[in-house]
Amino acid sequence: MVEDKIKIKFLDDCLLIKDILVIGDLHFGRNEQFHESVFPGLQLKEILEKLDGIFDYLETEKIKVKKIILLGDVKHDFGTITDIEWRETLEFFDFLKKKLEDVNKISNKIIKDGVSNMDLANNQTPAKIGKDYDKTNKDKLKNKIIVIKGNHDNILKPIVKKSGIKLVDYHCVEIKEGKKNKKICFLHGNKLFKQCSNSDYLIFGHLHPAITVYDKYKSEKYKCFLKGKWDNKEVYILPNFSLFNLGYDLRNIDNINEGGGIGLLSWFSKLKGKSNNIKRGKNKLKDNSRSKEEFFVIPNNTLKNFEVVIYNNKWKKEYNFGVLKRLLKRLLKKYG
Amino acid sequence: MENKIEKTYPRADPRKTSEIIKVLDPLVNEWFFNKFKDFSESQLYGVIPVYERKNILISASTGSGKTLTAFLSILNYLIGLAKKNELEDKIYCVYSSPLKALNNDIYVNLIEPLREIYELAEKKNIKLQKIRVGLRTGDTTSAEKAKMLKNPPHVFITTPESLAISLTTKKFIELFKCVEFIILDEIHSLGNKRGVYLSISLERLEELSKIVPVRIGLSATIAPLDEIANFLVGIEKSCLIANVQNTKKVDIKVLTGVSDLINTNFYEIHSSMYNLIDSLIQQHKTTVIFTNTRAATERVIAHLKEMFPKNYIENIGAHHSSLSKEHRFEIEGKLRKGELKVVVTSTSLELGIDIGYIDLVILLGSPKSSSRALQRIGRSGHKLHDISKGRFIVLDRDDLVESSILNKECVERKIDKIHIPKNCLDVLSQQIYGMCIQKIWDIDEMFKLIRKSYCYNELSKEDFMSVVSYLSGEYALEHKNVYAKIWYDKKTKQVGKRGKLARVIYMTNVGTIPEESYVSVVIGEGERKDNKIGVIDEPFLEKMRPGDVFVLGGRKYQFMFTRGMKAYVRAGIKRNPTIPSWFSEQLPLSFESALEINKFRKMINDRFEAKISKEKFIDFIREYCYVEVGIAEAIYTYFYEQYYYSKIPHEKRILIEFYKGEKNYVIFHSLYGRRVNDALSRALGYLMGQKTGRDIEIGINDNGFYFAGEGLLIDEALRVLNSENLRGALEESIIKTEVLKRRFRHCATRSLMILRNYKGRTKTVGKQQMKSFFLLAALNKISKDFPILKEARREVLEDLMDVDNAKRVLEWIKQGMVKIERIHTKLPSPFALNLILQGYSDLLKIEDKLEFMKRMHEEIIGDINERRQEGIL
């Protein structure tokens, strides 16, 4: 049974689900938000280096990524696309596309065009292969990189469009677990969608979880994953992918949602009562008047029962610190 | 040891009254002698040199008429011009003072003589042009500034910050084209980055002016005078020094509330101390009490009111820097009117604000340096020939010895040395930006001008150019033009400002005093959850780790965690505090006074070894420290206990005491002041940690430091550390510290990497902190030699710590002048007690972040598994 379960692997700040690489919030431009930035461009450079490391590792492990899902908040500014955001985000997308192309070059050929390695070596000229490949791949790429719309992504569309990438509110895939097909749904985390209600797995960004571990003498903060159950679904929450920001200290978990989350039932019942255009202007107004918007869709008390996992990329090892509630209690009791 | 060649300047001699009368205008003479009997000592020294247009530094105690000395010749000159109708529309004299409040004072003191002279002139039917005095500080309205441009003041009164802004304003620059006098008041308070900043402004002012202005410096008693003179006039010019001997008599005493400071219980010490304070206050007309910290200030007032409700109602007040401006002005006003019986203050009343007649100064706890002690005591009997009356009231036994030695230094007028920071790259950034806003510069000319300042005389071209690179955006990876503040053309070698907002950015972000913020303390759990209890300052918060217990408003709280600018705590704690509440504000003991105490300790030790009688001993202490029998006996007892229980550390002996209590302690008795101890302990701790890979707890005070932890390889660290590798070890050891992070934030703000204010949006300190965190993380990847990071390191090592004197101590050890001796104790020796009781100051983070996580994971999960197994069994 257990072995049949879908393999969800931690990797750096990402998740690897079979051949899908899931990346958390990036917030391009955050660093340059104010006038005084002295090192613009550093963030992108570092992020690309980090991704290079991830892809190198995947190559040595002989894992071929077929799809990349970004969990939202790609860029930071709500109001406009700043010059630097425009450039960095574009460059970032181009980088991802290139990576996917590189990884899938050969496999694509075999499946799509029926060209084998052997053929490649023998007959056809490399130039021609390249051309054909490009043509087929461009269409395919649309479904290969998927960007979930985050709360910061009000005006991401122009950039995504230019890159030929899909921007969606949520994204679902089906993967075999044993004999059954399981539905995995990827969301940002500030909103739920009716279409996700029957899924088996939920993958979120948005929260940027981080945990401070301390003893009597010192304390250090680490990015972490949260993993748990909610409404019979397995839930994973990813840390952010950006560099200098470790994230939201989970010691303050009680403050995440003002009212402690509005609860799953009300979410879905609300969604069920509405048409599909729930997110359109008119209805949204009504929505707001009915209940205060919460920061994260999962209630605080549920999150407290999630497990905290710190992934150490240097040693490629995960450290499960157990259930958050117990961990916080334990630290406080033991070390004051 | 590097030997710096220090300039010496000629001393001025006092002149005769008749000589001065000869140079003054008859009108000025008549006015002066209507008002005063004779010239004061400092006027005898200073008036003629200013008249002769010589640069001069006048050092005299407060209340000696320094300010009028500086102005007398200038007023005389201006009156002369006014008589002849030759006054021009320009600034003749720039007067700069570090205090806004003081400026108001001077305004009144300058306007008053002028008004009187004009009255006299009117009586005598002498026609005079009007002499205008203008004030520009941060509080000056734009209407007033506009008025000033229309009718330029002849005497321009300002602060260092406002002067810097004036130097970038086109219309103001015009008025500076012919400045003849520059007066710098309160120079003794400029041994910091504000002074460094001002030193370049002075050179810029001189460069603007067609004639070289005369520089007049006014200072309280200070040392070394030659260095201050050098600071005043810069590198090339000559200067006279008027060291006006203090004719003011001082009456100082050391007092304690109880005779036995160790066997008396806390409450008794406490109540008898307040009884003593109360009786002193009641015996005098007006008293100022100096405490060393703001927290203590509030505490003293609360206790006095509580214990003597009839004596203190409306007639008591507090004056310290975190109180509002209005409150402070009100207190100063009441003092001048004689409406207050007592004012309690921390350091804010040390400077020359006019506070009327004070007849007693109480120093509660050691003021940590003799010049500070004299400065504070000098606030009493403000008129020249009055007697200054000061009383040290000691709090514990270390304080007793320290205060007694300071008492001796005050009586003998031994003054400790001021520390003037050099080559500060953050201040330099701000100044270069300001200069670029002023005009386009040739890079070499700019460098030459900056090097004229004493504080930048040794600035290397390399450091200078690295600041230019930073400002012109060369460290940026791309988008250079967006973020650069200046442009630099390598071909033409010219630099200039970039962007239309440059002046606005400069104006709204100018200054060198870091913003410290206050963090709200909030209850984090239980019934009173989210109740706000009060505020603590940020440096204090930085010292705290989860679980620490501290006192606020008389109650104990346990720190839990912070979120934004809030600190969450748990109330109803019974445990003793782990961090004393005065921690962050503590003043360091001056190195010179520390050496004096060490010398005294040696003398005491020698006498114990010679086994002289107790009577002779007491006599010796009485005579040496100028203290009364009771005090001498208390000192004797303290040393007696230390001598017979352990050993007395002194100027030739550093004692290392090994004591195993709750933790493993290694205690260094090295009385060199906390700035030196900070450097020594960190370097040693770092070297030990490198071997074991574990963190080490450190406690530091003026008298020594301790390490606590496992595997303290102290002998090995001592063998490795020397005066050559000290700096390197320290630079490594501070990389991960909170203090470097905080200092970096200050430097980043000063150098305008972080803008406190941009387009009218003010950035909170919390935001600044976040921003600086990003910047620091980025810098660690880009370049460790980035000028502002380098400056933050310099500031920590040279200004916060005292790396130079720490080097001297290591030299002494190497040469055998100071010997290290070891002793094991079952209980901490009397001298070690205060050090251990105060708790730890910092933790040297050696252990790798990932290793720490792994270890904690093992501990926490191991614990859980254990309990699980027990449950199963």
- With cut-offs at 50, 70 and 90, classify the pLDDT of residue B107: low
Cβ-nearest to B479 among A40, A245, A249: A40
The string of pLDDT tens digits covering residues B43-53 is 999 999 999 99
Average pLDDT estimate for B33-49:
92
Give B775→chain A minimum CA distance, Å: 8
**A200: helix, strand or coil:** coil
- Give the residues across from B136 on adjacent strands: B158
Nearest CA-CA partner of B365 in B421, B312, B403: B403
Give A38→chain B minimum CA distance, Å: 6
Spell out the domain ranges in chain A: 2-335
Q: Which amino acid belongs to residue A38?
A: V
**Cα dihedral angle (B763, B765, B766, B768), rounded to 10 degrees?**
60
Q: Which residues of B touch A330 (CB under 8 A)?
A: 860, 863-864
Average pLDDT estimate for B433-450:
96
Report the C-alpha gap between A259 and A290 in whole angstroms: 14
Give B837→chain A minimum CA distance, Å: 17
User: Do A38 and B483 count as a contact with CB atoms less than 8 A apart?
Assistant: yes
Higher pLDDT: B64 or B121? It is B121
What are the backbone dihedrals phi and psi of residue B340, each rounded to the nearest 5 degrees, phi first? -110, 145
User: Do B545 and A219 count as a contact with CB atoms less than 8 A apart?
Assistant: yes
Residue B511 pLDDT exceeds 60: yes
Cβ-nearest to B563 among A216, A244, A252: A252
- Cβ burial of B355 (10 Å; 0-12, 13-18, 19+) is buried
Residue B661 pLDDT exceeds 80: no
**Greatest distance between any 2 Cα atoms in chain A:** 72
The string of pLDDT tens digits covering residues B714-763 is 999 999 999 999 999 999 888 877 778 888 989 999 998 888 887 777 77
Higher pLDDT: A207 or A86? It is A207
The listed CATH number (3.40.50.300, 3.40.50.2000, 1.10.3720.10, 3.30.70.360) that belongs to domain B17-243? 3.40.50.300
B853 and A CB contact within 8 Å: yes
B483 and A CB contact within 8 Å: yes
Cβ-nearest to B695 among A42, A218, A336: A218
Cβ-nearest to B545 among A32, A214, A320: A214
* B208, two tokens: 């603007």
Report the C-alpha gap between B654 and B673 in whole angstroms: 13
B482 and A CB contact within 8 Å: yes
B851 and A CB contact within 8 Å: no
Give B565→chain A minimum CA distance, Å: 13
For residue B810, what pLDDT is reported? Answer: 97
A219 and B CB contact within 8 Å: yes
> What is the residue whose two structure tokens read 């030695």?
B405
The string of pLDDT tens digits covering residues A51-72 is 999 999 999 999 999 999 999 8
Inter-chain Cβ pairs, chain A and chain B, closer than 8 A: 130
Residues 147-186 of A with CB under 8 A from B: none
Q: Which amino acid belongs to residue B263?
A: N
Q: Which residues of B touch A251 (CB under 8 A)?
A: 560-561
Cα-only R_g, chain A:
21
**B69: helix, strand or coil:** helix
Residues in Cβ contact with B563 at an 8 Å cutoff, skipping those fewer than 6 apart:
A249, A252, A255
Residue A336 pLDDT exceeds 60: no
Interface test with B, best of A30, A213, A217, A219 (most B CBs within 10 A): A217
A215 and B CB contact within 8 Å: yes
Give A336→chain B minimum CA distance, Å: 4
Average pLDDT estimate for B3-24:
86
- With cut-offs at 50, 70 and 90, classify the pLDDT of residue B211: very high
Report the C-alpha gap between A257 and A112 in whole angstroms: 48
Q: Which residues of A touch B752 (CB under 8 A)?
A: 36
In contact, B684 and B718? CB cutoff 8 Å: yes
User: Do A217 and B775 count as a contact with CB atoms less than 8 A apart?
Assistant: no
In contact, B630 and B256? CB cutoff 8 Å: yes
For residue B2, what pLDDT is reported? Answer: 41
A34 and B CB contact within 8 Å: yes
CA torsion sign for B257, B258, B259, B262 is negative
- Return the number of other C-beta atoms located less than 10 Å from residue B787's C-beta: 25
**B825: helix, strand or coil:** strand
- With cut-offs at 50, 70 and 90, classify the pLDDT of residue B859: confident
Higher pLDDT: A20 or B349? It is A20
Higher pLDDT: B47 or B562? It is B47
Cβ-nearest to A35 among B473, B755, B773: B755
Nearest CA-CA partner of B469 in B512, B425, B434: B425
What are the backbone dihedrals phi and psi of residue B519, each rounded to the nearest 5 degrees, phi first? -110, 135
Distances (CA, A) of B87 to B84, B129, B152, B668: 8, 7, 11, 66
User: CA end-to-end span of chain B, whole Å?
Assistant: 68
pLDDT > 90: percent of chain B: 51
Q: Which residues of B touch A252 (CB under 8 A)?
A: 561, 563
Residues 746-805 of B with CB under 8 A from A: 752-755, 758-759, 763, 771, 773-775, 777-779, 781-782
For residue B822, what pLDDT is reported? Answer: 96
User: Do A217 and B860 count as a contact with CB atoms less than 8 A apart?
Assistant: no
**B457: helix, strand or coil:** coil
The reported pTM is 0.78
Cβ-nearest to A319 among B773, B782, B857: B857
* B873, two tokens: 């069994």
Residues 207-246 of B with CB under 8 A from A: none
Domain with CATH 3.40.50.300 in chain B: 17-243, 249-412
> What is the residue whose two structure tokens read 């995995």?
A184
Cβ-nearest to B782 among A39, A222, A312: A39
Helices and strands: H and E segment counts in chain A = 9, 16
Q: Which residue of B has its CA nearest to A224?
A: B853
Distances (CA, A) of B164 to B276, B494, B510, B611, B681: 48, 22, 8, 63, 39
Q: Where are the alpha helices (DSSP H) in B510-613?
A: 538-543, 591-609
Given strand B316-319, what is the order of strands in its sheet? B249-255, B387-393, B360-364, B287-290, B342-345, B316-319
Q: Which residue of B has its CA nearest to A221?
A: B849
Report the C-alpha gap between B574 and B557 in whole angstroms: 9
Question: What's the gap between Cα B40 and its chain centre?
Answer: 30
Residues 300-359 of B with CB under 8 A from A: none
In contact, B308 and B278? CB cutoff 8 Å: yes
Q: Which residue of A has its CA nearest to B546?
A: A336
Report the C-alpha gap between B548 and B573 in whole angstroms: 11
* B734, two tokens: 């501070």
* B298, two tokens: 């509030």
B579 and A CB contact within 8 Å: no
Given strand A219-223, what is the order of strands in its sheet? A219-223, A209-214, A248-249
Q: Which residue of B has its CA nearest to A308?
A: B857
CA torsion sign for A319, A209, A245, B538 is negative
Residues in Cβ contact with B309 at an 8 Å cutoff, skipping those fewer than 6 apart:
none
* B462, two tokens: 């390399």
Residue A113 pLDDT exceeds 70: no
Residue B128 pLDDT exceeds 60: yes
Q: Which residues of A touch B781 (CB under 8 A)?
A: 42, 46
Residues 233-252 of A with CB under 8 A from B: 243-245, 249, 251-252
For residue B533, what pLDDT is reported? Answer: 74
What kind of architecture, by CATH, is found in domain B249-412? Answer: 3-Layer(aba) Sandwich (3.40)
**B260: helix, strand or coil:** coil
For residue B867, what pLDDT is reported? Answer: 63
- Cβ burial of A113 (10 Å; 0-12, 13-18, 19+) is middle
* B806, two tokens: 């720490």
For residue A109, what pLDDT is reported? Answer: 44
**B500: helix, strand or coil:** coil
What are the backbone dihedrals phi and psi of residue B796, each rounded to the nearest 5 degrees, phi first? -65, -45
Nearest CA-CA partner of A67 in A18, A138, A105: A18
- Return the number of other C-beta atoms located less than 10 Å from residue B666's C-beta: 19
What average pLDDT is seen over chain B? Answer: 86
DSSP letters, B202-241, are: HHHHHHHSSS--EEEEEESS-B-HHHHHHHHHTTT---EE
**A55: helix, strand or coil:** helix
- β-pairing, B566-570 vs B555-563, is antiparallel
Cβ-nearest to B477 among A41, A83, A331: A41
Residues in Cβ contact with A110 at an 8 Å cutoff, skipping those fewer than 6 apart:
A116, A117
Report the C-alpha gap between B826 and B357 in whole angstroms: 53
Residue A20 pLDDT exceeds 70: yes
Residues in Cβ contact with A84 at an 8 Å cutoff, skipping those fewer than 6 apart:
A28, A29, A32, A40, A41, B479, B482
- β-pairing, B486-489 vs B494-497, is antiparallel
Task: Identify the weakest region by mean pLDDT among B198-207, B306-315, B452-461.
Answer: B306-315
Interface test with B, best of A32, A33, A38, A88 (most B CBs within 10 A): A38
**B751: helix, strand or coil:** coil
* B88, two tokens: 């021009």
ipTM above 0.90, yes or no: no
For residue B873, what pLDDT is reported? Answer: 43
Give A83→chain B minimum CA distance, Å: 9
Distances (CA, A) of B78 to B25, B47, B185: 10, 14, 20
Give B73→chain A minimum CA distance, Å: 47
- Cβ burial of B133 (10 Å; 0-12, 13-18, 19+) is middle
Given strand B555-563, what is the order of strands in its sheet? B532-537, B518-523, B566-570, B555-563, B549-552
Residue B191 pLDDT exceeds 80: yes
